[in-house]
Homo-oligomer: A and B are copies of this chain.
Amino acid sequence: MPLDSSAKGLFPIAVTPFLPDGRVDESSVDGMCDFYIQAGADGLTILGIMGEAQKLEPEEALGIVARVCRRIPVPVIVGVSSPGFAAMRSLARNAMERGAAGVMIAPPPSLRTDDQIVGYYAQAVEAVGEDVPFVVQDYPLTLSVVMTPKVIRTIVQNHPSCVMLKHEDWPGLEKISTLRAFQAEGSLRPLSILTGNGGLFLDFEMERGADGAMTGYAFPEMLADVIRLSGAGRRDEAHDLFDAHLPLVRYEQQAGIGLAVRKYVLQKRGAIRHDAQRKPASALSAAAKAEIDYLLSRLARFDGRAAL
């Protein structure tokens, strides 16, 4: 089933499991897929920035795509961002053949002006093909490309295959409101908006009109629950759960070591066998691990899933 603009809920950003020697940990992939499904995932996004996609060789990337698509009963989105359109096309076409539901495309950091951004996505659509549904990744903090709501609208209106926004601007709450206002006034067609930033603002993002989350926090269950509670209008409960997790969400959100924190927790939870990253990698000190353990023990008082 191809991805479309009605997508909702939780699409975790999956990590890529590695063995301590740096090879892809094939045997962890299935278990990781099951973990995300059990956590309530409505879809899965692989080969994103936090998936260490840039460190993979093409055949490794495709191997992971194939394995995940075979295992998982929900839509799989594949990150295909690349410095060159040839590689982007190759990965996108091959991923769709192996069962992906859509692809995600981030702009290269060199883009500055509105026209450059709009033009880049036109070239990207030409490269991957108009038949491939795609997600625009809007992540200024890391990519240093700033897209206004109007630019996003132009991209969506220009390309029917644009079905989703991965919203990761910071601050970004007003952006969600502005895009939803565009739709209310009729100038923007339906668009799924899933939010990132490690979930740091998910509580209010849902209230502003997001359709769900696409991020990799090591307790995807919390993300799924907050989405559900918020959607059901149970505001205080959503915030209570969110706030209980916030100390850890915040800790995981540290630039530079965030992925190490995430993999450390995922390993403790049994989602992956090793917390190894492929080089270049960041590492956690003993003090950092102790801090995470302390945060988990505090969280466990509120959310039993953190009792590890």
Interfacial residues, chain A to chain B (CB-CB below 8 A)? 22, 52, 54-58, 83-87, 90, 108-109, 112-116, 120, 123, 127, 140, 146-148, 150-151, 170-171, 173-174, 177, 200-201, 203-204, 207-208, 236, 239, 242-243, 246-247, 250, 254-257, 278-280, 285, 287-288, 291, 298
- Closest 10 CB pairs between A and B? A55-B84, A54-B83, A112-B146, A171-B254, A114-B114, A85-B279, A113-B148, A113-B146, A171-B257, A246-B246
Residues of B within 8 A of A285 (CB): 174, 177
Contacting residue for A239 out of B90, B116, B257, B298, CB 8 A: B298
B239 to A243, Cβ gap below 8 A?
Answer: no
Residues from chain B with Cβ under 8 Å of A247 in the complex: 203, 239, 242-243, 246
Main secondary structure of the interface of A (DSSP, over half): helix
Closest B-chain residue to A244, C-beta based?
B243
A34 to B235, CA, bound (A): 37
Sample of 18 more A-B contacts, CB < 8 Å, known A116-B146, A173-B288: A54-B83, A55-B83, A55-B86, A57-B90, A84-B279, A85-B278, A85-B279, A113-B147, A113-B148, A123-B280, A171-B256, A173-B287, A201-B250, A208-B287, A236-B298, A239-B247, A239-B298, A243-B298
Q: How many copies does the complex hold?
A: 4
The 30 listed contacts between A and B (C-beta, < 8 Å) are A54-B83, A54-B84, A55-B83, A55-B84, A55-B87, A56-B86, A57-B58, A57-B86, A85-B279, A109-B109, A112-B146, A113-B147, A113-B148, A113-B151, A114-B114, A115-B148, A123-B280, A127-B279, A170-B255, A170-B256, A173-B291, A174-B288, A201-B250, A236-B298, A242-B247, A243-B246, A243-B298, A246-B247, A246-B250, A250-B250
